[in-house]
Chain A
């Protein structure tokens, strides 16, 4: 059957993080915090252990804007309940805003 059966009791993850072990990843959290580090461990609840972690600090005036500022945190446990996004460190980049309409002047 192509779909997962509802009778299956065992909790399975839809994504296997073990392919990212020992690789640098970027993590975003509820509340706007962002960090990256080398993935050293995880559990089914998405709690993560990151090594050599750096946190990207946000603009105090605009909570959603990142600054150049970072801080070193080292060995860190990230709570799965707060994680909203995980991607490989080289898996994203900033681009110019594709939604800006050019005004005719």
Chain B
């Protein structure tokens, strides 16, 4: 179930900084420019939105939703990130 605006952050004007900060410690779903998606627990991010995630699952969307699960921590290069979905569970498989 996806989050709505009001329940997540009751503030007037939103920004990437505020929203992603709020998400630290919880699950986040990252959609890349290509057909790859990542779901993990957000540990942190930097000014370039490189992200440190743990308990990560990687999804390839094109070949019928193949799933690759990785544990521990990853550093995700922010170069190819298109969308960030707080509380997201990833694509339907």
Q: Which residues of A come within 8 Å of B, CB atoms? A: 21, 29-31, 33, 35, 40-43, 47, 49, 51-53, 55, 60, 71-79, 81-82
Contact = CB atoms under 8 A, between A and B. Distances in A.
A39 B72 CA distance: 35
Contacts, number: 87
A76 B16 contact: no
Interface residues of B, number: 30
A49 B82 contact: no
B3 A75 contact: yes
A74 B28 CA distance: 12
Contacts of A30: 33, 82
A41 B85 contact: no
Contacts of B62: 60
A11 to B, nearest CB: 15
The listed residue with most A CB atoms (<10 A of its CB), out of B8, B33, B82, is: B82
